[in-house]
Amino acid sequence: MKLVIIGGVAGGASAAARARRLSEAAEIILVERGPDVSFANCGLPYYLGGVIAERAKLLVTTPERLRTRFRIDVRTQSTAVRIEPANKTVRIRETGGREYDQPYDKLISAPGAAPIRPPLAGVDLPGIFTLRNLHDVDQIQTRLHAGVRQAVVVGAGFIGLELVENLVHRGISTTLVELADQVLPPLDPEMTTPIVETLKSHGVEILTGEAAAAFRATAEGLAVQLKSGRELTGQLVVLGVGVRPENALAVEAGLEVGARGGIKVNEFLQTSDPDIFAVGDAIETTDFVLGGPTQVPLAGPANRQGRIAADNVFGRASKYRGTQGTAVLGVFGRTAAMTGASAKTLRRLERPFHAVYIHPTDHAGYYPGAEQMTLKVLFDPETGRLLGAQGVGGAGVDKRIDVLAIALQARLTVFDLEEVELAYAPQYGSAKDPINMAGFVAAGWLRGDHPQVDVPSLLAMSDDARPLVLDVRTPEEFAAGHIPHAMNVPIDELRLRLAELPADRPIVAYCQVGQRGYLATRILRQLGKDAVNLSGGYRTYRLWQPNG
Amino acid sequence: MKLVIIGGVAGGASAAARARRLSEAAEIILVERGPDVSFANCGLPYYLGGVIAERAKLLVTTPERLRTRFRIDVRTQSTAVRIEPANKTVRIRETGGREYDQPYDKLISAPGAAPIRPPLAGVDLPGIFTLRNLHDVDQIQTRLHAGVRQAVVVGAGFIGLELVENLVHRGISTTLVELADQVLPPLDPEMTTPIVETLKSHGVEILTGEAAAAFRATAEGLAVQLKSGRELTGQLVVLGVGVRPENALAVEAGLEVGARGGIKVNEFLQTSDPDIFAVGDAIETTDFVLGGPTQVPLAGPANRQGRIAADNVFGRASKYRGTQGTAVLGVFGRTAAMTGASAKTLRRLERPFHAVYIHPTDHAGYYPGAEQMTLKVLFDPETGRLLGAQGVGGAGVDKRIDVLAIALQARLTVFDLEEVELAYAPQYGSAKDPINMAGFVAAGWLRGDHPQVDVPSLLAMSDDARPLVLDVRTPEEFAAGHIPHAMNVPIDELRLRLAELPADRPIVAYCQVGQRGYLATRILRQLGKDAVNLSGGYRTYRLWQPNG
């Protein structure tokens, strides 16, 4: 068996190591365009910020180790320039210029995805970068050492925000420009409010619904001209506006690619040529939750795909179940994470769903240091099956999203979440964990015990058509901020003050996070009132209306 | 509906609140022996240690709040002394002495479990306590304020170890006495090694396989005479040797109880009398993983059972799925956690299982601050279905056990763990998360790719019968400590030095954590050698042989 692997980072390196474990006899050739294999691309922003101090730490493995330990024929500085499926060869060009045809029995293609560099005027000026590999990071580092006072990051995705944090960490005044009307476009917009507030509190200027239009060199360094006409000044611009699958070789070789350019593969990660497999950021995979094709450039899936492709090369039928898009961002001590489908995606695909919000603390409130989070759980409104989840806040967000990620994998429902038995001691969780609470709220809605209205629906109602908005918090909480025109009747007085409520007007009750509002709803409905709870309470309201 | 609830802590208070949400009309009477309801019993040790500074924080809710917010007829200082199922009444005795019969339509019994106070000579001397409620904690606090230099904690379960930590935190020299031959008896013994080392490094003396025999008053305070004859001195003794279900009322009322004293209930948490439900630490429930009866006194299950019992009282068929025993301990910054069955339990029940060990870090090694953990995953050797998991280490142990707890609930297999898609950024996890790694190792064993021998099996072999033990780590690692009589051939030299290996002797390869040993096994087996990997490597060996 002569196995050729194109690309030596996450998917390619995993495939190579797995292949060797499966076969001592195979000839395994790894072709990598750059000088490095298997570097920690997710660590690049942190190296720029000085959080990861040594460049060597970014080298997860080296060509030398792949050679000695795994007996891989590693060929760095070697670019695959053409695949010829008919001859089963790959044309390889070395940096020095030499070219040759490398035969293969099986090929695994892991070329990755290239950062998009929009064809704007001046985009190739010095000081304007994308961030993909160690070469990029070295160039940015050099620029930083030359002195950068102001930076502009274009694109507020995961890498963009990590870059912003690290640039601020270095004392650089940073402006973030994002075409969408929110940061972190994979998340639902209201869930990004705490992240926006955190960024602002660290002095980051955020320009959403805005884009770079042109760049030019100035005495100050660079001027970034925006679509709106505004101009930003900086000595460094990093473009993080997305990636494009590296599909040129595949297309030229006649392999099928999807509508968004990802190389098409079957569940065995086999391309339209049965002797060619493809893995990682370059492929189109299946959306595990919703079905249908998707392209999710993430390190975890790429690594697992590499293993699976190697298995199939050596005759072990191994299937990739699809990608559910679990991702996490840490920024200035806050965490935002998600798994599965967002409300945005579900609406776009016209899939029915319902969402609940809770605002629990990561551990028991009576133990010091509890930090608050917001969890949004999306589920099928008929069956209760989980569709997705998002979390934002402090400690414990990553844990709950991981728990929900495996719940999603197992096709669990919100009824199952009610029954989850997680580890509880007061410094780790609560006797009713946030996951249980999410299950209780969602299942309560499904059972009809807990009718809820969401904030956008409330906001969409005209003032005349609005139900009575009943704030059941304390007068102190009410005074500190409330929904306009709300009436305040604390929950503990509600039963005694029923006569004050209008007889025939529907009621939307709310409290701080939803729990007292739920009890109010229960009390009122059992008395025959048309009452619903505002989903997630005032805290959720403030996610939508951060300025009051 | 007249609902009487006996007991106002976790299960009882949850049942009361749920009952009110289900029915505004019901009469709900909560009978509690003590002065407090719903206090944070899991917080008691931390209040003693001063970590939780205010006593008021331990009151999760108050009788007053249950009255005003939930309109519960809370009767504290009232002891239920007899249940008369035939008349459907509960005899209640108030602290003042007044007694009366309280009728009920439905009864929920949540009496809890009482700490066992062994009938030893001197056990009732001043300064010897158990820890169940705020009354106990106040008494211990008074004793501490009077001056305690040395303390003896009898019982090394979860509460015992939490107490030890908090006493040490207060500068008290503490000795831990445990009848079993290990601390934390719910865990498998080798998994407690890091906890023992942590306790010792904080100056705790640990006496396992030892028990208190008698107590007497001395000039120094108390003398604790041990079974071995040794005598310990202290001014405080806390007994944490287990709990016994409070079943007296149930037994007297003719309700069925199990072999270990727990009140028997069906899946609706209904006792043998259909109008009486029981929840919490007093009941015998079903072992979710293994089937069969079990008694697990944990706050999370008690809370959920309270909800479920209330549902059933109000005619909603709601089932309790059983308890899987998810638990966590924090001690001196380390975490030990478990879910499902232990190897000890599986062996006792003669259930076939296999276990794998991994020693990953909580997040990517290239990002600062990564902390190591050990995970043990137990699964069915035929189907790969998860049976249990244990973790010990630093950050991220609770997260992985929670993920495995939900995997267990969903009846997933180790093959599913290979495919888990968790949230990865370098400060949160790894592209191949510890959960994936556990899946890879376990599935590799199931598929026959990765034959392993465990440490006890290796240790049990006589020297003559032992295979060649091959250490494939670096010479530096080997020099720092290795298995006696091991031969050192670093993995990167293995292919070149095959001739040095004996031709016909079986080989057990090992490295630090198992990964290089696995590759060595793959290389050797493909060359026709009879080689297996030592499960979990040298680090696992040291769990069994902490002293070399």
CA–CA distance, A496 with A487 (Å, rounded to integer)? 15
Say yes or no: do domains B333-446 and B452-544 share a fold: no
How many Cα neighbours within 13 Å face the side chain of B353?
Answer: 25
- What is chain A's Cα-based Rg? 26
Label residue B523 by pLDDT band (50, 70, 90).
very high
Residues A321-343: b if buried by 16+ CB within 10 A, e if exposed:
ebbbbbbbbbbeebbbbbbbbbb
Query: How far apart are the CA of B109 and the nearest CA of chain A, in angstroms?
Result: 19
A403 CB neighbours in chain B (<8 A) are: 402-403, 406
CA–CA distance, A71 with A187 (Å, rounded to integer)? 43
Kindly report, residue by residue over B38-62, the tens digit of the pLDDT.
889 899 999 999 999 999 999 988 9
Label residue B150 by pLDDT band (50, 70, 90).
very high
Q: Are B7 and B29 in contact (CB under 8 A)?
A: no
Query: How far apart are the CA of B135 and the nearest CA of chain A, in angstroms?
Result: 18
Q: Are A283 and A262 in contact (CB under 8 A)?
A: yes
**Averaged pLDDT score across all residues of chain A:** 96
Three-class DSSP category at B204: coil
ipTM for this model: 0.96
CA–CA distance, A279 with A270 (Å, rounded to integer)? 9
DSSP string, A207-232: EES--EEEEEEETTEEEEEETTS-EE
Judged against a pLDDT cut of 80, whether residue A548 lies above it is answered with no
A516 CB neighbours in chain B (<8 A) are: 69
* Chosen CATH of A2-113+244-313 out of 3.30.360.10, 3.50.50.60, 3.40.50.1240, 3.40.1000.10: 3.50.50.60
Among residues B360, B414, B411, which one has the least CA distance to residue B382?
A: B414
> What is the topology classification, in CATH, of domain B452-544?
Oxidized Rhodanese; domain 1 (3.40.250)
**Averaged pLDDT score across all residues of chain B:** 96
Contact flag A424-B337 (C-beta cutoff 8 Å): no
Judged against a pLDDT cut of 80, whether residue A432 lies above it is answered with yes
The beta-carbon neighbor of B43 closest among A10, A418, A426 is A426
Three-class DSSP category at B442: helix
Q: At residue A277, what are phi and psi to the nearest 5 degrees?
A: -105, 155
Write down the pLDDT at residue A462.
Answer: 82
> Which amino acid, one-letter code, is at B92?
I
Kindly report, residue by residue over A266-299, the tens digit of the pLDDT.
999 999 999 999 999 999 999 999 999 999 999 9
Environment class of residue A119 by beta-carbon count within 10 Å: exposed (0-12), middle (13-18) or buried (19+)?
A: exposed
Write down the pLDDT at residue A452.
Answer: 96
CA–CA distance, B498 with B514 (Å, rounded to integer)? 20
Write down the pLDDT at residue A466.
Answer: 86
Query: How far apart are the CA of A460 and the nearest CA of chain B, in angstroms?
Result: 30
CA–CA distance, B152 with B259 (Å, rounded to integer)? 31
- Say what the pTM is: 0.96
Contact flag A406-B399 (C-beta cutoff 8 Å): no
**Count of other CB atoms within 10 angstroms of residue A136:** 17
Query: How far apart are the CA of B452 and the nearest CA of chain A, in angstroms?
Result: 15
CA–CA distance, A29 with A515 (Å, rounded to integer)? 60
Q: Are A173 and A163 in contact (CB under 8 A)?
A: no
A307 CB neighbours in chain B (<8 A) are: 440
Write down the pLDDT at residue B242.
Answer: 93
pLDDT mean over B374-381: 98
CA–CA distance, A256 with A272 (Å, rounded to integer)? 6
Q: Which two tokens stand for residue A126?
A: 């010095």
Contact flag B423-A339 (C-beta cutoff 8 Å): yes
- Tell me which of A289, A402, A496 to substitute to probe the interface with B (most B C-beta atoms closer than 10 Å): A402
- Tell me which of A57, A304, A367, A406 to substitute to probe the interface with B (most B C-beta atoms closer than 10 Å): A406
- Across the beta sheet with A73-75, the strand order is A73-75, A27-31, A2-6, A106-109, A276-278
Q: Which two tokens stand for residue B68?
A: 């005003």
**B511 part of the active site:** no
DSSP state of B498: G
Kindly list the distances between the CA atom of residue A78 and the CA atoms of A81, A84, A91, in Å, as whole numbers in the listed order.
Answer: 9, 17, 10
Catalytic residue among B1, B2, B23, B42: B42
Q: Among residues of chain A, what percentage have pLDDT more than 70?
A: 100
Contact flag B300-A433 (C-beta cutoff 8 Å): yes
pLDDT mean over B66-74: 96
CATH architecture of the domain formed by B128-241:
3-Layer(bba) Sandwich (3.50)
- Tell me which of B59, B406, B445 to substitute to probe the interface with A (most A C-beta atoms closer than 10 Å): B406
Closest residue, chain A, to B299 (C-alpha): A431
Kindly list the distances between the CA atom of residue B320 and the CA atoms of A438, B266, B306, B313, B324, in Å, as whole numbers in the listed order.
Answer: 18, 9, 10, 14, 12
Query: How far apart are the CA of B523 and the nearest CA of chain A, in angstroms?
Result: 6
Q: At residue B45, what are phi and psi to the nearest 5 degrees?
A: -60, -35
Write down the pLDDT at residue A289.
Answer: 96
DSSP string, B277-312: EE-GGGEEEEBTTT-SEE----HHHHHHHHHHHHHH
Environment class of residue A495 by beta-carbon count within 10 Å: exposed (0-12), middle (13-18) or buried (19+)?
A: middle
pLDDT mean over A522-548: 94
Environment class of residue A259 by beta-carbon count within 10 Å: exposed (0-12), middle (13-18) or buried (19+)?
A: exposed
Kindly report, residue by residue over A310-342, the tens digit of the pLDDT.
999 999 999 999 999 999 999 999 999 999 999
> What is the topology classification, in CATH, of domain B2-114+244-313?
FAD/NAD(P)-binding domain (3.50.50)
**Count of other CB atoms within 10 angstroms of residue A210:** 20
Among A389-393, A464-468, A519-523, A540-544, the minimum mean pLDDT is found in A464-468
CA–CA distance, B431 with B217 (Å, rounded to integer)? 59
Q: Are B129 and B141 in contact (CB under 8 A)?
A: no
- What is chain B's Cα-based Rg? 26
Q: Which residues contact A310 (CB under 8 A, 6 or more apart)?
A: A3, A14, A15, A16, A18, A19, A22, A108
Contact flag A368-B407 (C-beta cutoff 8 Å): no
Write down the pLDDT at residue B361.
Answer: 96
Write down the pLDDT at residue B464.
Answer: 79
How many Cβ contacts (< 8 angstroms) between chains A and B? Answer: 244
Contact flag B57-A366 (C-beta cutoff 8 Å): yes
> What is the topology classification, in CATH, of domain A333-446?
FAD/NAD(P)-binding domain (3.50.50)
Judged against a pLDDT cut of 80, whether residue A535 lies above it is answered with yes
Q: Which residues contact B40 (CB under 8 A, 6 or more apart)?
A: A364, A366, A426, B57, B58, B59, B60
Q: Are B391 and B335 in contact (CB under 8 A)?
A: yes
Contact flag A431-B303 (C-beta cutoff 8 Å): yes
CA–CA distance, A251 with A278 (Å, rounded to integer)? 13
Contact flag A407-B405 (C-beta cutoff 8 Å): no
B425 CB neighbours in chain A (<8 A) are: 42, 158, 162, 327-330
**Annotated domain spans of chain A:** 2-113+244-313, 128-241, 333-446, 452-544
pLDDT mean over B430-437: 96
Catalytic residue among A42, A179, A299, A453: A42
Among residues B40, B7, B219, B14, which one has the least CA distance to residue B110?
A: B7
Contact flag A428-B398 (C-beta cutoff 8 Å): yes
CA–CA distance, B261 with A449 (Å, rounded to integer)? 37
Among residues B78, B117, B335, which one has the least CA distance to residue B238?
A: B117
Kindly report, residue by residue over A111-169, the tens digit of the pLDDT.
999 999 999 999 999 999 999 999 999 999 999 999 999 999 999 999 999 999 999 99
What are residue A439's DSSP bridge partners? none
Q: Among residues of chain B, what percentage have pLDDT more than 90?
A: 96
Kindly report, residue by residue over A176-219, the tens digit of the pLDDT.
999 999 999 999 999 999 999 999 999 999 999 999 999 999 99
A373 CB neighbours in chain B (<8 A) are: none
Judged against a pLDDT cut of 90, whether residue A504 lies above it is answered with no
Q: Which residues contact A484 (CB under 8 A, 6 or more apart)?
A: none
Kindly report, residue by residue over B174-189, the tens digit of the pLDDT.
999 999 999 999 999 9
- Tell me which of B288, B422, B519 to substitute to probe the interface with A (most A C-beta atoms closer than 10 Å): B422
Environment class of residue B100 by beta-carbon count within 10 Å: exposed (0-12), middle (13-18) or buried (19+)?
A: exposed
Contact flag B24-A527 (C-beta cutoff 8 Å): yes
Query: How far apart are the CA of B87 and the nearest CA of chain A, in angstroms?
Result: 31
Residues A403-415: b if buried by 16+ CB within 10 A, e if exposed:
bbbbbbbbebbbb
Residue identified by tokens 């593969």 is: A265
Write down the pLDDT at residue B547.
Answer: 85
- Across the beta sheet with A212-218, the strand order is A212-218, A221-226, A231-234
B410 CB neighbours in chain A (<8 A) are: 406-407, 410, 412, 416
Q: Which two tokens stand for residue B70?
A: 């939930």
The beta-carbon neighbor of B409 closest among A52, A399, A419 is A419
Among residues B5, B326, B511, which one has the least CA distance to residue A425?
A: B326
The answer to whether the Cα torsion of B488, B494, B500, B501 is positive or negative is: positive
